[in-house]
Amino acid sequence: MTRALFGTDGVRGRANSEPMTPETIMKLAAAAGRYFRRDQQDHRVVIGKDTRLSGYMLENALTSGFTSTGMNVFLLGPVPTPAVGYLTRSMRADVGVMISASHNPASDNGIKFFGPDGFKLSDSAEIEIESILGAGVSLSQPANIGRAKRIDDAGGRYVEYAKTTFPRKLRLDGLRIVIDCAHGAAYRVAPSVLWELGAEVIRIGVEPNGSNINDKCGSTHPDTTAARVRETRADIGICLDGDADRLIVLDEKGQVVDGDQLMGLIATRWAAEDRLAGKALVATVMSNLGLERHLNGLGIELVRTSVGDRYVVEAMRENGNNLGGEQSGHLVMTDYATTGDGLIAALQVLAAMVETGKRASQLTQVFKPVPQTLRNVRYTKGSAPLETEAVQEAIAKGEERLGASGRLLIRKSGTEPLIRVMGEAEDRTMLTEVIDSICSAVAAAS
C-alpha cells in the first residue's frame, strides 16, 4: 500500500480545502490516536502550532479527533517544530503533532506527526494510519473519552532547553544580532534565548497577525535582514522559517552564508573535539563537491542521501551519526534535537564566533565551493524523458567529459513536472556546455 494522504513531510495543503479541512483532520487525528494508543490508562498527545489563522481551526479538529479515541491532549500553543519533538519526549507522550506549513504562505497549512521518541514518523507508520482511516476508526466509550489541557509554559520550557545546548562557560555579551522570526512559531522564544544569553537583539518578524507568516520575511526572504544587518552594523543575521526548523545565516556584510558552509563549520569543529559520531556528516546529493573534498581531507566521510530532511535523519539513525542537514538550511543535531532546529543550529555558529573571536564572514568560509549549476526543464505530464535513449546518451557523454573533476545529478522533481539538471565542475565553460546539452536533450524528449 502507498501513501495517499501523507506527502514527503506530513500532510499539507491549502487551508479549508482537502485534505486540510476540519472534517478530514479530525478523522486523521482519530486514526492516529487509535494507532498510538498503548495498553495503559494515560494516553497522551502534545499539539503545537505556528501562527497561521487556520491553526485555531485545525487545533480544535485535532483535539476532537484525538479525544474521541481516548487520548489526553496537551495544547502547547505557538512553538517551533523542534520544540514539539522535544516536548513529546519530555512529557512522555505517545505522539506529538505540529500544525504548520513551514515556509509556505499563510493560506497553506500542514500536519506533522512525531512518535514517542520525538522523531518524525516512518513511511510504514504513515501507511498504517492511512489504513486505519480508510477502514473506519473505532471510537472510545463515553467514559473513556480523553481530556484537553493547555500548557501555558511550553515556550518557556523550550527556551530553557535551548540554552542548555550553548556552552555553559560562554555568553553572547558584545554581539549585536539581527533575528528574523518570519512572524512565525519562534517569534517569542528565539529572541528570548539570545537576549538571555547576553546578546543585543534586533528583532524582525515578531508581530504575527495570522496572515503575515513568511510574508516577505524569514528564511525565504533574507533581504530585509541583510539590510538591517548593514544598517545597524550587526555582527550576524539569523533568519528562521515559519516553524523555525530551518536556518539562514547572514554575515556582518549582509551576505547569505551557504548551508553547506554551516555544516562544514560544525562538522569540522565537532571532529576536532572528538564529538562527531561515526566521523561522518550526513547530507543530501545536492551538497557541494567542495564540501565533500574538504571533509575527506580531514578524514571525515560525507554520507549522501536523497533530497529531504527525513531521509537525512533516517540515514543518521541507521548509521549512528549525530550531525546532518541540507544545503537549504535544515541542520539536524541529534545530540540536541530530533529534527532540524534553526535556533539551536544558530547557537552552534554563535558559540564558534565567541570561542574563536572571528567575524562571521571569516568563520563561515570553511571550503572553496566547486562551481555548481542547476536548471529545471519542464516536461509534459505522463512523459518520461529520462528514459529516452537520447537523454541517457547525453548524460553518459556529460559524465565522461566531467570525469573525476565534477559530477552530475539529474532527477525528477517530486512536486512538479520538472527535470532538475544539476552539475558541478572546476571548468565553468565545460560545465555549461554539458548542462546545455543535457537540457536540450530533455526538452526535445518532453
Torsion region of 210: left, alpha or beta (phi above 0 gives left; psi -120 to 50 gives alpha): left
**Residue 361 among the catalytic residues:** no
Contacting residues for 83 by C-beta, under 8 A, at least 6 apart: 48, 76, 154, 155, 157, 158, 185, 189
The CA distance from 284 to 51, in Å, is: 30
Residue 243 vs residues 5, 100, 432: alpha-carbon distances, Å:
21, 6, 37
If you search the block for the grid coordinates 520525538, which residue do you land on? Answer: 118
What are 149's strand-pairing partners?
A: 74
Q: Which of 68, 102, 140, 192 is catalytic?
A: 102
Which three cell numbers, joined as nine digits, stand for 210?
495570522
Q: Which residues are catalytic?
A: 102
